[in-house]
Amino acid sequence: MNPIVRWFHKLGSPPYFDRFAARWAPWAYGLGLLVMLWGAYGALFVVPADYQQGDSFRILYIHVPSAWMSLFVFGLMAFYAAIALVWRIKLCEILAMACAPIGAGFTLITLATGSIWGKPMWGTWWDWDPRLTTELILLFLYLGVIGLYNAIDDRRAAARAAGLLAIVGVVLLPVIRYSVVWWNSLHQGQTIRLFGESSMDPSMVQPLIWMIVGTKLWFIGALLARARGDNLRRENGKAWVAALATGKETPAR
């Protein structure tokens, strides 16, 4: 067998995944934190203030990566869900459902920071800007997936149903986005460009890239940790969990 396929099959075994996640989640968390701190330092102290937006554009260094993550995580969730539905791989069900709360968190950050950025820029806490409106609907989609997952008793059926909803959501998301833009143009709104028209100075882009990489790494850590928790919940009662919990050596498999 192909070593990658073999590794993937091995990863699908709950005790192995638990060890894998327990081992690598702290690394991803730590690395993500370091990179984000470096990026935040650049965004807050190195980059000069924007001549139009003043210091408030520093908010964008967390707003933009979060917005990217909110969409990326939703896509990843639907991807895992599709694999789980087609090939019935339990690990993918767990990973898909672990995506939902993290993605909802990033969506919340996007909405909150967008609103905070908007107050000095637009003079109001909320504007029906197409981007923010799409994010708001995205948050509802995330909440729907989480709600459906928690409302069904059978864990596997719950994950599959919520996964199907995630796939429907990812199909509709471009339509929602397009409809909101159309609606905005109909009602004479205007879109404010986040960054100035002129091409940005490379020194301004650099912290943004660091933040994007940092949030991705942090997300990997969060995904592994959440999936580990869900995995333990489903496996609770099995011998390997008891051995792990009581500190005895896990029997090798």
| Shortest distance (Å) from residue 203 CB to other proteins | 19
Compare residues 4 and 138 and give the one whose CB is closer to other proteins. 138
Cβ 23 to other proteins, closest distance in Å?
A: 14
- For tokens 């639907």, what's the residue? 78
- The two counts, helices (H) then strands (E), for the chain are 8, 0
CB 170 within 8 A of CB 78: yes
Q: CB nearer to other proteins: give 7 or 178.
A: 178
C-beta closer to other proteins: residue 11 or 235: 235
Of the pair 4, 175, the CB lying nearest other proteins is at: 175
Residue 160: count of CB within 10 angstroms of its CB: 19
Report the nearest approach of other proteins to the CB of residue 3 (Å). 25
Question: Least Å distance between CB 2 and other proteins?
Answer: 23
Minimum distance of other proteins from residue 46's CB (angstroms): 14
- 3/249 with CB nearer other proteins: 249
Cβ atoms 156, 169 nearer than 8 A: no
Q: Which is nearer to other proteins, 11 or 232 (CB)?
A: 232
Least separation in angstroms between residue 117's CB and other proteins is 7
203 DSSP assignment: H
Alpha helical stretches, state H, 12-129: 14-41, 60-87, 90-122
Q: Which positions ≥6 away from 57 have C-beta within 8 Å?
A: 49, 50, 117, 195
SS3 state at 50: strand
Closest CA to 131 of 74, 191, 205, 81: 191
